[in-house]
Amino acid sequence: MPYYLFLCRSITHAQRMSRTLERSGITARFFRPPMGMTDRGCSYAVRVAENNVSAAWERLRAEGLLPMRVFYIGGDGAFREVRM
């Protein structure tokens, strides 16, 4: 199933993003991003389902918790960076 990854600068930022989205009813788990997505060792990613990405983005923007980068992972498992 396709989904989006919001890359965060730290685990704290990822935790805040995840909690904000979860309180809004959007499932959002955080974890270490796959190799190749970032050159920063301390980065974390928050996973959001494709059907929730618009609501998630608006909620994060309203809270001032925007990610560093956003990636779309398609059904084939390949990822590409996107602009929101």
Instruction: Characterize 1-16 residue by residue with b for buried, 16 or more Cβ atoms within 10 angstroms of its Cβ, and e for exposed.
Output: eebbbbbbeeeebbeb
Q: Choose among 46, 41, 42, 38: nearest CA to 65.
A: 46
Q: Which CATH class is domain 3-82?
A: alpha beta
In what helix (H) or strand (E) does residue 17 lie, and over which residues does it extend? helix 11-23
pTM of the model: 0.89
* Count helices and strands in the chain by DSSP H and E runs: 2, 5
Tokens of 20: 């904000």
Mean pLDDT by 10 residues, the chain (84 residues): 92 96 96 76 91 97 95 88 88
Residue pair 37/79 in contact (Cβ under 8 Å)? The answer is yes
Query: Tell me, what's the pLDDT at 50?
Result: 95
